[in-house]
Amino acid sequence: MFNRFFGKFSEDIGIDLGTSNTRVFVKEKGIVMNEPSIVAINTRTNHILAVGKIAKDMVGKTPPHIQITRPLTKGVISDFEVTEKMLKYFIDKVHDDAFTLVPRPRIVMSVPMEITEVERKAVEDAALAAGARQALLVEAPIVAAIGAGLPIEESLGSMIVDIGGGTTEIAVISLSGIVTWKSLTVAGDEMTKHILQYARDVFNLLLGERVAEDVKCHIGSSLDTGEGLRMTMRGRDLITGLPKEVTVNDGQIREALNKSVRTIIDNIKATIELTPPELVADIYERGIVLVGGGSLLRGLERSISKETDIPVRLAENPDAAVVRGCGVLLGDDRLLQEIALPTTGVDRRR
């Protein structure tokens, strides 16, 4: 009863707590925040110096006493204390302009499919400690499917591939549940690492992570698009130790990314093989939907379609599909209660 009462006055929040980026949706306002999941900490004072974009700008440029940390690994919390502080920063920022006595928010958050009960409890506890009155967790592919506008409640097969920073999650959804699925640790971050390794192996060039990520975003592709893109990479020569720059083309970066792309496609095919034939027929007719920042890789949808012989399309604003789905659930209590994971503790409904 109290929860419903406070719900009328609080600014309920949907959070896509991602390995690379955290996005925040506020009921009746839309997406209000999209920040890197990065925190800068002064190890001398144990104080947080920066969160999000400002912290990301510090990567690779800090003195020894400033530590840059990513509190989430492969979609789950690796540093509870820092995650709590990061969430508190986002919640406080949302409420900056709010009246002081506004009740604490209810939060809907997405979590990976392979999350354990212990990891789930860590996410709930971090949200409650950061200031939420209630934390409800939903599996990321279901939330992404809602955000992409798929009819998850119908007896139709919908296939979604969510390529994030730390994980790629492939799921077939029907009647508000996941029928078959696979979860991989091959995603955007792994692609960036392959570019770093390629630069070392081929050019004896030590790159920074941000440079490799920029290369991936600007000229990365899964097949030849005919654009003939080129880009300069700057780093340190591993032989001389001096600064060095190398110009690479999209074909070379495609070679670096090939292993990751191949793994994702093979697992999509394996998921289809495990899916009941009635649902496969629906997927063949309706196609596969791609979401997540990693799905923006040039030509990826065509590569998957060519290998599976199934139509593939990108969702509108694919990197925001999960947080949009959280936003939809904030306004649909019936569906939220149906698909939310069981809570592992006691809600703080004050």
Q: Check residue 11 and report its DSSP letter.
A: -
Q: What is the pLDDT of residue 2?
A: 43
Distance in angstroms (rounded) separating the CA atoms of residues 73 and 82:
13
Q: Which strands, in side-by-side order, build the sheet including 243-249?
A: 205-206, 230-237, 243-249
175 CB neighbour count, 10 Å cutoff: 10
Handedness of CA 312, 315, 317, 320 (dihedral sign): negative
Q: Are 3 and 133 in contact (CB under 8 A)?
A: yes
Q: What is the pLDDT of residue 6?
A: 46
Distance in angstroms (rounded) separating the CA atoms of residues 218 and 265:
22
pLDDT 10s digits, 316-340? 999 999 999 999 999 999 999 999 9
Residue that has been written with the tokens 């590569």 in this structure:
303
pLDDT 10s digits, 160-186? 999 999 999 999 999 999 999 999 999
pLDDT 10s digits, 28-61? 889 999 999 999 999 999 888 999 999 999 988 8
* Mean pLDDT, 10 residues at a time, the chain of 350 residues: 49 90 91 93 90 90 92 86 88 69 81 88 90 92 96 94 94 96 94 97 94 95 90 95 96 96 97 96 96 95 96 94 95 94 63
pTM: 0.89
DSSP string, 277-294: HHHHHHHHHH-EEEESGG
Q: What is the pLDDT of residue 340?
A: 94
Q: Which two tokens stand for residue 73?
A: 């690994």
Domains, the chain, in order of start with CATH, read: 2-37+74-143+321-339 (3.30.420.40), 158-186+265-318 (3.30.420.40), 188-256 (3.90.640.10)
Reduced to 3 states (helix: H, G, I; strand: E, B; else coil), residue 34 is strand
Q: What is the pLDDT of residue 28?
A: 84
- The secondary structure of the chain in percent helix, strand, coil, rounded to multiples of 5, reads 40, 25, 35
Beta bridge partners, 21, equal 36
Contacts of 315 (CB under 8 A, 6+ apart): 144, 147, 148, 149, 289, 290, 291, 295, 321
Residue that has been written with the tokens 């690779």 in this structure:
60
Reduced to 3 states (helix: H, G, I; strand: E, B; else coil), residue 172 is strand
Reduced to 3 states (helix: H, G, I; strand: E, B; else coil), residue 1 is coil
Reduced to 3 states (helix: H, G, I; strand: E, B; else coil), residue 210 is helix
Q: Which two tokens stand for residue 34?
A: 């999209």
